[in-house]
Amino acid sequence: MEPPTRPSPADPLDTRPPAFSPGEAADIAERIFGLTGSTSPLDSERDQNFRFTSDAQRSFLLKISNGADDPAVLEMQTQAMLHIAHQDPGLPVMQPLTTLEGGYHGEVEGAGGDKQLVRLFTFVPGRAVDTVELSPSARRGFGSMVARMGLALRGFFHPAGGYRILWDLKHTPQLRPLLEAVPGGRRYLVEQVLERFEERVRTVLPSLRAQLIHNDLTLDNVLLDDVQRVTGIVDFGDLTHTAVICDLAIALVSLTWHTSDPLEASRQVINGYTSISLIEEGEADVLADLVLARLAALVLIANWRVIRYPENAAYITANQEIAWRLLEHFDSLTWPKVQACMRAACLRAPESSDPGPRPSIEELLERRRRALGPALSPLSYQTPLHLLRGDGSHVFDHEGNAYLDAYNNVPVAGHCHPRVVAAIAEQSSALNTNTRYLHESVVELAERLVATMPPGLDTVMFFNSGSEANDIAWRLATAYTGRAGGIVTAHAYHGVTTATAALSPEEWGDSERAPYIATIPAPDGYRGPHRREEQGGAGRYATHFDEAVATLESRGFRPAALFADSLFTSDGIFAPPATYLQELVRRVRRAGCLFVADEVQCGFGRSGSHLWSFQAAGVAPDFVTLGKPMGNGHPVAAVVTRAEIAERFASHSDVFSTFGGNPVACRAALAVLDVLEQEGLQDRARVVGRHLRSSLETVMKRHRSIGDVRGAGLLIGVDLVHDRGTRRPTPRLAHALTNRMKERGVLVGSTGPDGNVLKIRPPLVLTTHEADVISQTLDACLDELEAAAPGEGFESCPAGEP
């Protein structure tokens, strides 16, 4: 195609945006989508955008497209958004809503009588932070998002994909006519970019991997939260079929905008990208030239548009000056150097290094079976997951598929949080010994933990696992009281050692019940003997403690300790009223028994209201045991107790663990406490947890097989039943659902004595968008299972039924 002397008249860049008033836009939303509400205008280069707030206070993006936009192209953009949501549900891409007529587009007539398409999208959270310098981990996260977008769109095709848009970097040579409008002083910079493009890129580009790409992944269109994680991806207006690497070039320009060291910032973004997708050599060769071409396009197109639309000058030229300065900066470094640096970053092994060819799933399974044997807990899911990488709330398998991790509570700060990783790496390269030497980290960690506990809990000892922590608590409790009996809830889990397995009815086989352990029912206000809607509700469960004491006494034992997980995770997830724990602890004390609050699973902010779940009841335990999330995956655990209890034990013995409380473990735990504080993760657990609970309750309205949704913060149980009348559990549905949700890219588990309660306990960095992905996936999987097996008890609710 011959280069045009200027953009074609049909190009939306050359056509005025629609100009409806906010009131007219609200009328349009009502007529086309049946929603009433109010609108406020948002910026746009060529469309008209409004934030539409419905009467039910839900926000949407109302987009009235430029009359010159081809309807087929808009349809392609809509389909692409749906496709991405299907391929990688964790990418927070805005989603189109259906019109009253059932399509995704409505039509309005503009002032000049031309037809303009109207679409309504979900309003994704976050802010466009295009004037702030991003942190290195945020740049890396952005880079990995760009690669995931490429992967998610890899198999997408649409007949309109070949449409021509000036922002497509392959059209760079066609920008040459726009040079005329550039003032003389800096024009040579852009001329050089165009020349280099002719020489180095033009002939190579058609040989590179190409597909439909977003083509505008910038800080204008990718929204971030307060800790600079991606929460929203909007504006698919530049989607086109071109070289995949262009998405990275465009992102690089945006992310080096406000940095003191653009090359280092680029390296970080590229590193995030290559942690997900390989960059081919040919792509690496031209990346820097594509970055320069993007900068040239920004200054040239802005210049040309200002002349056409002087009234929009402020918006159009906002970034033009920065683009010039970046061009000058790269020029001063010399362009070959820029090219060499970016090339090297592209071809360097990703920081999570690739060990080369991997065994197939079948081969690994067989080797695992032979080497690890059958006694170890089995693999999750019918088709096991072979995971290689984690990032925030996502994990990635050996084929690069992304999974939203709604199951693993250990990476409380998000998988591989850079701060925790750095703390571990730094300390490992300095020193790792044991607690028989003085070290500041272990003391500091103990002090910081004590500061979070109720008064009196002033002594901390470190171990390696939750089981060890509970084992030691048991030893100390029996030594202190001189008694040998224990009380636990009926399906509790407290550990894997001999002593803690005895405290774990979940693990008991028929003959493994120890005579010195008695059980009490968990405070199940849904299915158990005391229902939450009855007077006194689940609080009445505390009375069963006295029966357990009597049972122990009838067997010749007196109770040394009650062990309880304050959110009863293994029992089926219950958050009883505060009166329950208060009354339970009162009875514990009356019986001369000690109370061990096992926070191994529910601690570190998960409940949303407090750092430690027992705090919601305002009780003071004698022991608090910590583990799992404490090191975000690095083994570290602790027992917190009263000095008096530790002193009584010390009078005849002491405890030492070779690895427990070593400097590396302590640095990991300190970093976790820092991240929890600085990223406000406990608050996030509360806010996002509330959002998730309510969206799961909405799903429950559609499906009779959900009997109950319960929990606290980001520990949520979805109780699956044959029917709501009998509340009979259906573990088969839980099993089918966990597998099907995994196939759709969302990981959840199951719990409870019958295994029928879906266990949702994601890393606390979960966003509200990701929470929606969980509930939407559950909804869709229930729909599928109900359709596939009618009459199996997997039934949806007829409309309107409670």
Q: Given the rule CB under 6 A, which residues bind ligand PMP?
A: 465-467, 470, 493-496, 565, 569, 598, 600-601, 627-628
Cβ proximity to ligand PMP, 247 vs 599, nearer residue: 599
Supply the minimum distance, in Å, between the C-beta of residue 57 and ligand PMP. 38
C-beta of 78 vs 465, nearer to ligand PMP: 465
Which is closer to ligand PMP, CB of 608 or CB of 633?
Answer: 633
| 3-class secondary structure, 463 | strand
Cα of first residue to Cα of last residue in the chain, in angstroms, is 62
Neighbours of 800 (CB within 10 A): 6
* CB-neighbour burial class of residue 440 (10 A; exposed 0-12, middle 13-18, buried 19+): exposed
166 versus 626: smaller Cβ distance to ligand PMP: 626
Q: Which residue has the tokens 């032979």?
A: 370
Q: How far is the CB of 425 from ligand PMP (least distance, A)?
A: 23
CB 167 within 8 A of CB 46: no
Task: Spell out the residues 6+ positions from residue 595 whose beta carbon is closer than 8 angstroms to its own.
Answer: 561, 562, 564, 584, 585, 588, 589, 619, 621, 622, 623
Q: Which pair of tokens denotes residue 494? A: 């407290």
Minimum CB separation of residue 569 from ligand PMP in Å reads 6
Helix, strand, coil tally for the chain in percent (to 5): 45, 15, 40
CB of 723 to ligand PMP, least distance (A): 31
Alpha helices per DSSP H over 482-556 = 498-502, 544-554
Of the pair 600, 774, the CB lying nearest ligand PMP is at 600
Nearer to ligand PMP, 375 or 438 (CB): 375
Smallest gap from Cβ 775 to ligand PMP, in A, equals 25
Smaller CB separation from ligand PMP, 7 or 495: 495
Min separation Cβ 662 and ligand PMP, Å: 16
| Structure tokens given for 295 | 């900068």
At 762, list the tokens: 């994601």
- Strand pairing category for 485-489 and 517-520: parallel
Please report the DSSP string for 229-275 in residue order: -EEEE---TT-EEEETHHHHHHHHHHHTTT-S-HHHHHHHHHHHHHT
**Least separation in angstroms between CB 474 and ligand PMP:** 12
CA distance 419 to 400: 24
Which H/E stretch holds residue 107? strand 106-109
Which is closer to ligand PMP, CB of 82 or CB of 496?
496
Query: Tokens 């496709």 — which residue?
Result: 83
Give the nearer residue to ligand PMP in terms of CB position, either 629 or 689: 629
Closest residue to ligand PMP, judged by C-beta, is 466
Shortest spacing between CB 493 and ligand PMP, in angstroms:
5
Between residues 196 and 494, which has the closer beta carbon with respect to ligand PMP?
494
Instruction: Write the CB contacts of 24 (distance below 8 Å, at least 6 apart in sequence).
Output: none
Q: Which of 782, 605, 614, 760 is nearest to 693 (CA)?
A: 760
Closer residue to ligand PMP in complex, CB, 175/522: 522
Taking every pair of C-alpha atoms in the chain, what is the biggest distance, in angstroms? 98
- Measured CA to CA, the distance from residue 406 to residue 749 in angstroms comes to 8
Cα separation, 279 vs 244, whole angstroms: 10
Nearer to ligand PMP, 42 or 496 (CB): 496
Helix (H), strand (E) at residue 374: none
Least CB distance from residue 280 to ligand PMP, whole Å?
A: 43
Rounded Cα gap, residues 107 and 178, in angstroms:
34
Nearest to 709 by CA among 693, 726, 721: 693
Nearest approach, Cβ of 472 to ligand PMP (angstroms)? Answer: 12
CB 465 → ligand PMP: shortest distance, Å? 3
Question: Least CB distance from residue 471 to ligand PMP, whole Å?
Answer: 9
Name the minimum Å distance from CB 284 to ligand PMP: 43
Residue closer to ligand PMP, measured from CB, 39 or 465: 465
Torsional class of 213: left (φ above 0), alpha (ψ -120 to 50), beta (otherwise): beta
CA distance 563 to 488: 5
Beta bridge partner(s), residue 747: 405
CA–CA dist 718, 573 (Å, integer): 9
If phi over 0 gives left and psi between -120 and 50 gives alpha, with beta otherwise, what is residue 552? alpha
- Of the two residues 99 and 632, which places its CB atom closer to ligand PMP in the complex? 632
Min CB(442)–ligand PMP separation in Å: 19
What are the residues facing 122 on neighbouring strands? 60
Shortest Cβ distance from residue 159 to ligand PMP (Å)?
Answer: 52
Closest to ligand PMP by CB, 539 or 627: 627
The answer to whether 386 and 395 have CB atoms below 8 angstroms apart is no
Closest approach of ligand PMP to the CB of residue 600, in Å: 4
**Upper half-sphere CA count for residue 117 (Cβ side, 13 Å):** 18
Q: Give 570 or 775: the residue with its C-beta nearer to ligand PMP.
A: 570
For the record, the structure tokens of 531 come out as 């229902």
